[in-house]
Amino acid sequence: MQTKNGIVVMKFGGTSVQDSESITNVINIVKSNPLKKVVVVSAISKATTALENIARFAADKNTAEAEKLLSEIINRHHVIIDTLVTDSALKQVAAEKIISYEREITELVKGLSIINELSLRILDAFRVFGELMSSNVIYYSMKNSGLDVELIDSREIIKTNNDFSRAYPNFELSQLNADKKVKPLLDKKKIVLAQGFMGSTEEGISTTMGRESSDFSAAIYGSLVDADEIQIWTDVDGVLTCDPNVISNALKLSEISFKEMEELSNFGAKVLHKNSVKPALKKDIPIKILNSKNTSSTGTLVSSKLSYPEHVKSVTYKKNIIVLRVKPKESLNQFIFWEMMLNILSRHKPQIDILISSNNALIIVIAESAYTKIHYDELKNEFDEISDCEIVKDKVLITLVGSDLGTISNFEQSIFICNPGIKAESIIYGFNPHSFSLLVNSGECDKVLCNLHKQFFEGHTSDNGLFRKLNKNEEKSIA
State the DSSP code for 214. H
* Residue 199 contacts ligand ASP per CB under 6 A: no
User: For residues 400 and 411, what is the distance between their CA atoms, to the nearest angstrom?
Assistant: 11
Q: Counting contacts by CB under 6 A, is residue 196 touching ligand ASP?
A: yes
Question: Where do runs of H (alpha helix) occur along 405-444?
Answer: 411-417
**Burial state string for 262-278 with b = 16 or more CB within 10 A and e = fewer than 16:** bbbbbbbbebbbbbbbe
Question: Residue 208 CB, nearest distance to ligand ASP (Å)?
Answer: 7
Order of strands, edge to edge, in the sheet holding 361-367? 352-358, 361-367, 312-328, 387-402, 435-441, 426-429
Question: Could you give the CA distance from residue 348 to residue 336 in angstroms, rounded to a whole number?
Answer: 19
**Min. distance of Cβ 19 from ligand ASP in angstroms?**
15
CA dihedral 409, 411, 412, 416 (to 10 degrees): 120
Q: What is the DSSP string of 235-279?
A: SSSS-BSS-TTT-TT--EESEEEHHHHHHHHHTT--SS-TTSHHH
Counts of helices then strands in the chain (DSSP H, E) = 15, 18
User: Which CB atom, from 182 or from 219, has the smaller least distance to ligand ASP?
Assistant: 219
With CB under 6 A as the contact rule, which of the stretches 88-96, 212-220, 223-231, 423-431 interacts with ligand ASP? 212-220
**Near ligand ASP by CB under 6 A: residue from 15, 18, 25, 42:** 42
| Residues touching ligand ASP, count (CB under 6 A) | 12
By CB under 6 A, tell whether 211 contacts ligand ASP: yes
Q: How far apart are CA 264 and CA 401, in angstroms?
A: 6
Of ligand ASP, Mg ion, none, which one sits near residue 213, judging by CB under 5 to 8 A according to partner kind? ligand ASP
Residue 238 contact partner, candidates ligand ASP, Mg ion, none, CB within 5 to 8 A by sort of partner: none
255 binds, among ligand ASP, Mg ion, none (CB under 5 to 8 A by kind): none
> Measured in whole angstroms, how far is the alpha carbon of residue 49 from the centre of its chain?
14
43 binding ligand ASP? (CB under 6 A)? yes
In sequence order, what are the residues at sequence separation of 6 or more whose Cβ sits closer than 8 angstroms to the Cβ of residue 375?
Answer: 348, 349, 350
Phi, psi of 11 (to 5 degrees): -110, 130
* Residue 130 lies near ligand ASP (rule: CB under 6 A): yes
- Which CB atom, from 165 or from 223, has the smaller least distance to ligand ASP? 165
Please select the residue that binds ligand ASP; options are 25, 165, 175, 214, rule is CB under 6 A: 214
Examine residue 14 and tell whether it contacts ligand ASP (CB under 6 A). Answer: yes
Stretch that binds Mg ion, among 8-16, 313-321, 339-347, 367-375 (CB under 5 A): 8-16
- Residue 42 interacts with, from ligand ASP, Mg ion, none (CB under 5-8 Å by kind): ligand ASP
Site map (CB under 6 A) of ligand ASP, residues 411-430, x = contact: --------------------
Contact 131, 195 (CB under 8 A): yes
Which residue type is seen at 160?
Answer: T
**Binding to Mg ion by residue 212, rule CB under 5 A?**
yes
Q: How far is the CB of 45 from Mg ion (least distance, A)?
A: 11
Amino acid at 144: N
Q: Which helix (H) or strand (E) holds 382?
A: helix 370-386
Which among 5-13, 46-54, 383-391, 470-478 is the span making contact with Mg ion, rule CB under 5 A? 5-13
Which is closer to ligand ASP, CB of 292 or CB of 403? 292
Choose among ligand ASP, Mg ion, none what residue 48 binds, the Cβ cut-off being 5 to 8 Å by kind: ligand ASP
Site of interaction with ligand ASP (CB under 6 A): 13-14, 42-43, 48, 130, 196-197, 211-214
Site of interaction with Mg ion (CB under 5 A): 13, 212
